[in-house]
Chains A and B, each alone.
Chain A
């Protein structure tokens, strides 16, 4: 019985980590849009390249934040959560 419980727990952690990384879609679309618009802007006004590039990098870094939240959650679920949950289970069983 205990083995099954631990198995379900680990399965949940792994699945959760995978599902958390779905959040990677958002920054992908957002940064893609930003780069596309930056390319357009540079094509229209090549002399403004340096200003557009620095703003683009800033914006990309900001848009990346949600993806990084997901990454941190996924890493916590893979590296930290299984041990913690198994401890909790062991304490509950006694």
Chain B
């Protein structure tokens, strides 16, 4: 087998893709720097609202979280394009092997948790995993993490809820309604509450974990600032106002709250998506009806 050296054109496209990967994040940081007024000291705030669009039913605020989540989305798109650029059978480049490994891992995960019938879900699960992980990790470059805003995560959870309901309706509406009356019709209200609790708990779990990390980091930063002022406050000039304690110490917490917790919550969100969707589908009943239909034909 002969190896062809990468041509100029190939390298140019590569560079373009890498630049396009970084540009959305840089733009989001620029927007934050340019349009958000500097607050007094360290404070806990929600997502800053850039602008409000006038819509017929209700006004649509465009907040920091939405902009950042779109930036992360575009960045991931170009990351995927970069990883698969110049991919072809029987040619093993580093990035192609890495991309294949990632795809195989996700397909294995889906196969293990959902079974063969749901293999079409692999791209969706991979997308939600990557989006959630990168959104949480975007706080490392100084952006407002989109996952610490309730609305972004609620959007994903509602999407999952629609999927669950779609698969529950596969055996017809009557079977769906009957499912709520299990084991006795008296349990109807409880079952309806349980049905609604699924997206709510998924939302609050993801959002609460990331938000608690942010809040604890902010509290620690302000405490260290106060301690630093107390100890070094009497030094002359810039030495007196520089927060020495805030150098390095918050990074230790950041390893847990930003890196570990962010990736773990992404994994758990996609895992729960898989479990809820695959358990909501009445596989045996569906197969029985399908075979009956085929027999009648």
Contacts and interface: CB of A to CB of B under 8 A. Distances in A.
B44 A68 contact: no
Interface in B256-270: 264-265, 267-268
Interface residues of B, number: 15
A71 interface: yes
Interface stretch (A30-38, A58-66, A84-92): A58-66
Given A61-B264, A79-B44, A68 B205 contact: yes
Interface string A19-34: 0000000000000000
A33 to B, nearest CB: 19
B44 A61 contact: no
Interface residues of A, number: 11
A68 B268 contact: no
B197 to A, nearest CB: 10
Interface string B255-285: 0000000001101100100000000000000
A58 B204 contact: no
A64 B205 contact: yes
A69 B268 contact: no
A75 B264 contact: no
A65 B44 contact: no
Contact of A58 (B209, B212, B268): B268
Contacts of B212: 68, 71
B201 A65 contact: yes
Given A65-B201, A75-B215, A79-B44, A58 B271 contact: yes
Q: Which of B204, B208, B271 has the most CB of A within 10 A?
A: B208
B154 interface: no
Considering the complex of A and B, which 8 residue pairs feature the smallest CB-CB distances, nearest first?
Answer: A68-B208, A61-B268, A65-B205, A72-B208, A65-B201, A71-B208, A71-B212, A68-B204
